[in-house]
Structure 1
Amino acid sequence: MNRIIHEAIEKINPNATIETIRSISGGDINQAYRVETNNKNYFVKTNQHVPANFFTFEANGIQLIKNTNTIAVPTVHYYNEPKQHEHAILVMDWIEGKSTEKSTIELGEQVAALHQHHHEKYGLDQDGFIGSLAQVNDFTDTWISYMRDYRLLPQLLLANERGRLSNERYAKLEKLINHIDKWLPANPKASLLHGDLWGGNWLTGANGKPFLIDPAVFYGDHLFELAFTELFGGFPQDFYNAYKEVMPIEDYYNDVKPLYQLYYLLVHLTLFGEGYGTAVDRTLNRYV
């Protein structure tokens, strides 16, 4: 692994001298490292068991967010698209700092500003990933068709393939998907979304400046993003207060929030098993 990291750093800066390579906790999917050189520190992720475009999708998402000039993201210095059995690698800035009392306020304001960047269609023009799961994408004319065909239906098929759905659960989820137009707005504004915004996917840099990491970007209803922030906690009330100062939260939010959270519950059910089954069933029973 050290050889792969050395080769990547040399491509970034041939004059850099690596001083230390330290393995760090980097989630369930990738191997992660802090790489210290004589003039800069890097965060490096590697993986040998992902598709060739795995880090390409992440790098492209970071760039999309960066282009909005709304909220900070790490600079991507290098990534590859490996051949079979080769290691995928992504090299970014090392971000480090302590939170301040303003960090989550700025995060709320800046995420809301990100959501004010819109597209005329819903979705994205490239396939991606949510965690380790492949996530098919395309642009659609309505939010209903995108949520049905590119979010909930693929999760129904994946969860069923992995044996996560009883006959009753499958039938209820299929019925909900087939009648999703009863609950969803057809044409909310298509905001640029981080796509995987839980408490572990933002951090602070110098002076408490908030940064977004590990995006799974697409364009959709901004309330879809907010619903996920509430699912597993990690965002204090001042985040939401600051968000609402920039971007309104529509009246239909409470009615649709569990449905938006269902997508992420299905992802976790597929990946991690029945520990998420009760929450999935509770949501299905609310709507079906």
Structure 2
Amino acid sequence: MSIFIKEHLINNASLIREAQGLTLLRKSLDLYNIREVFVPKIYKVTQRELHLQKILIKDFDTNNMKKLGKGLAKLHKIKFKNYGFEIDNFIGLANQKNILTKEWGEFFFEYRLLYQVSLIENEKLKSDFLSVLEKNKKKLISYLNKHTKHPSIVHGDLWYGNVLYNDIDKNIYLMDPSVHFANREVDVAMTYMFGGFSKEFYDEYNKEYPLEKDFETRKEIYNLYHYLNHYNLFGITYLEDCRDRIKLIDYL
């Protein structure tokens, strides 16, 4: 048995929440017999250490990108009862606030965008961003609800580094999730942030579960959450990305 040990020096519950997210993803994949994607086995978890199945990483090829697209779409097809999550968790090492609710647009507005803006230390910037959000609150919530079919389980932090191909068993693994129930578009949107996902991935996803019209606009709104989070964590490098996307809200 080959084990990868992920260590955490900060005394919080992020590794425990990560393990809970992996477990929930595994249960969903197993229950619906989805075999295009997997999650690593968990052997032990504490606040300090997470012991996982070790992955021998190999680059993705076209066929594996297709499998990933199809598997993710199948996962997103599963219908859940509520949006959000029953407990707070983490996006990377940042806190991610949650409740369970029937209403997607308001959840995303309050617990994703508004929460991240509230963390901005620059008071002028925070005021400017809050002004845009509050002015467009009803319009934005209505727009997001209009283009939401049902709560899906989402990975929540789906950039290229969190998807691995294992050269040992030839399976694709989802890693480091920030699991919650959401409009499935949030996962697809994040795949565009840092690249790495091929045309074949998107083609296969859309073949299995086509994205709705005007996804390109919603993609930028959903990624605003991640850019705000990156700005709050890492600083000014991500500020213009935030500004560009928050401007879109005025033109919905």
- Per the TM alignment, residue 168 of structure 1 is displaced from its structure 2 partner at its CA by 2.9
Q: Going by fraction, where is helix more abundant, 1 or 2?
A: 2
Provide the alpha-carbon RMSD of the alignment. 1.9
State how far apart, in whole Å, the 1-side matches of 2:19 and 2:100 are: 20
Q: Could you tell me which residue of structure 2 aligns to residue 80 of structure 1?
A: 46
Q: Could you tell me which residue of structure 2 aligns to residue 104 of structure 1?
A: 65
Q: Could you tell me which residue of structure 1 aligns to residue 179 of structure 2?
A: 217
- Per the TM alignment, residue 261 of structure 1 is displaced from its structure 2 partner at its CA by 1.1
- Per the TM alignment, residue 188 of structure 1 is displaced from its structure 2 partner at its CA by 2.4
- Per the TM alignment, residue 252 of structure 1 is displaced from its structure 2 partner at its CA by 3.2
State how far apart, in whole Å, the 2-side matches of 1:145 and 1:167 are: 20
1:272 maps to 2:231: no
CA contact (8 A) 1:265 1:279 kept: yes
Where in structure 2 are the equivalents of 1:1-288 lying within 5 Å?
40-51=1-12, 53-69=13-29, 70=34, 71-81=37-47, 88-98=48-58, 99-159=60-120, 161=121, 165=125, 167-177=127-137, 179-186=139-146, 187-206=148-167, 208-288=170-250
TM-score normalised by structure 1 residue count = 0.78
State how far apart, in whole Å, the 1-side matches of 2:122 and 2:87 are: 25
| Unmatched runs of 5 consecutive residues or more in structure 2 | none
State how far apart, in whole Å, the 1-side matches of 2:245 and 2:237 are: 14
- Per the TM alignment, residue 164 of structure 1 is displaced from its structure 2 partner at its CA by 8.6
- Per the TM alignment, residue 285 of structure 1 is displaced from its structure 2 partner at its CA by 1.8
CA contact (8 A) 1:190 1:219 kept: yes
- Could you tell me which amino acid in structure 1 is paired with residue 39 of structure 2? V
**How many residue pairs end up in the alignment?**
241
- Per the TM alignment, residue 114 of structure 1 is displaced from its structure 2 partner at its CA by 1.1
State how far apart, in whole Å, the 1-side matches of 2:14 and 2:180 are: 15
* Greater Rg by CA: 1
- Could you tell me which amino acid in structure 2 is paired with residue 259 of structure 1? I
- Per the TM alignment, residue 174 of structure 1 is displaced from its structure 2 partner at its CA by 4.0
- Per the TM alignment, residue 163 of structure 1 is displaced from its structure 2 partner at its CA by 5.9
User: Which of structures 1 and 2 has the larger relative contact order (alpha carbons within 8 angstroms, sep 6+)?
Assistant: 2
TM-score normalised by structure 2 residue count = 0.89
